[in-house]
Amino acid sequence: MNRIRTIGKPCFLLILAFLQVLFFVVMYRRGSSKIFESFSKRNGKNWDYSKVKDIYTNLTLFTPALTDELQYCPPKSPLLVGPLSITFQNIPSLKRILKKNPYVKRGGLYTPPHCQARYKTAILIPHRNRERHLRHLLYYLHPFLQRQQLHYRIYLIHQAGNETFNRAKLLNVGVRESLKDEDWDCLFLHDVDLIPENDHNLYVCDETYPKHFSSAMDKFNYRLPYWSYFGGVSAMTPEQYMKINGFPNSYWGWGGEDDDIAYRVRYAGLKIVRVPLNIGHYKMVTHNTDKGNEENQKRFDLLVKSPRKWKEDGMNSLEYKLISKRLMYLFTNITVDVGAAPKDKKTKTRS
Ligand code: UDH
Ligand code: NGS
């Protein structure tokens, strides 16, 4: 009763009308997007991607320290600049990339020369027939990681032969082989055609949960394509990776393996955390569909079976033939025979 009486008072209605007019005036003057932006600012800085810096800015200012006893690098790298200028107009030559990255050692290994890195990250890239993409990625990723003052190494896991491509299995191989070299803090599972656009997107793992990094790709208009999407670029600690039994080895061809991995994360009692959309910006190098990576017709069946299969198909059942492990100037090349998709059993035809 009391409330009805208050609402009925003319002065209350007047205040309400005034507030409404004020709301529309503010919306009109500033634009609604600006107002919602100011809410999103609370989730971090509101990056302006129309103002970009060169990826090699200031990198040469950091030269080797003169003493043997290095201090730890600062918790936040002073080299970060935010949005970066990324273009795919010219394909950089390996020689040019090498010249621009004088502190990268054979195998694509880097340790900051002026301070002791706080973090060790391995980048694992599944690969076949994407040399153009690889050159773009190396040109941008080396300085990107150096800006973050990480100790890192870039691994290319190259599928030998012409059998159907198997992204997930190649990544399992990458994890096993890279952990033979070093006790990595973090394993990055990185498509060859995705270039990070903001160096505040730190290539370190979340201590508790698997993390998705390519949350805002240009081809999806800088949004997530669907809520459980886990493709493109993601990262896990070795412990998290083993807890989900790695990736499935049984997805041959395009699609579904990243969804299976997202399911595994939940089956193992974990969840996916993500880089905020305003930082997880990535540009994709455009390309045609790959020969040997046609759509996997079995992917939906495999996804249905995933709750029963994840504990038996993964790191604990991984088999492959290591063909070579070569230390190239800008990356470690692991060439591997991952086998072939099982042949379909012939169905009896009636005579
Ligand atoms: N990859 C290769 N070579 C191949 C295929 C894939 O190196 O022949 C690697 C590469 O790192 C690539 C990743 O696997 O970035 C993922 O490949 P993808 O083809 O699944 O994804 P991408 O984003 O292309 O490169 C999407 C093609 C859309 C196909 C649509 C089918 N309906
Ligand atoms: C889903 C696929 C994922 C794929 C995603 C984005 O439909 O593997 O699209 O694809 N899942 C299935 O097919 C079950 S993309 O636009 O990058 O080609 O990653």
Q: What is the pLDDT of residues 256-289, one digit of tens each?
A: 999 999 999 999 999 999 999 999 999 999 998 8
- Nearest ligand to the CA of 287 is 1
Question: For residue 254, how far is its CA from the centre of ligand 1 (angstroms)?
Answer: 7
**Cα–Cα distance measured from residue 247 to residue 264, given in angstroms and rounded to the nearest whole number:** 8
What are the pLDDT digits (tens) for 129-145? 999 999 999 999 999 99
Minimal-distance CA residue to ligand 1 atom 29: 289
Q: Ligand 2: residues within 6 Å at CB? A: 225, 231, 255-256, 258-259, 299
Q: How many CA atoms lie within 13 A of 211 on its CB side?
A: 20
Question: What's the pLDDT at 10?
Answer: 63
Question: What's the pLDDT at 20?
Answer: 64
**Cα–Cα distance measured from residue 148 to residue 155, given in angstroms and rounded to the nearest whole number:** 18
Reading the block at residue 255, the tokens are: 């699609």
Question: For residue 280, how far is its CA from the centre of ligand 2 (angstroms)?
Answer: 18
Task: Please check the confidence at residue 30 and state whether its pLDDT lies above 90.
Answer: no
Three-class SS of 31-81: CHHHHHHHHHHHHCCCCCCCCCECCCCCHHHCCCCCCCCCCECCCCCCCCC
- Nearest ligand to the CA of 168 is 1
Question: For residue 85, how far is its CA from the centre of ligand 2 (angstroms)?
Answer: 27
- Closest ligand 1 atom number to CA of residue 219: 23
Question: For residue 301, how far is its CA from the centre of ligand 2 (angstroms)?
Answer: 15
Helix count and strand count (H, E) for the chain: 9, 12
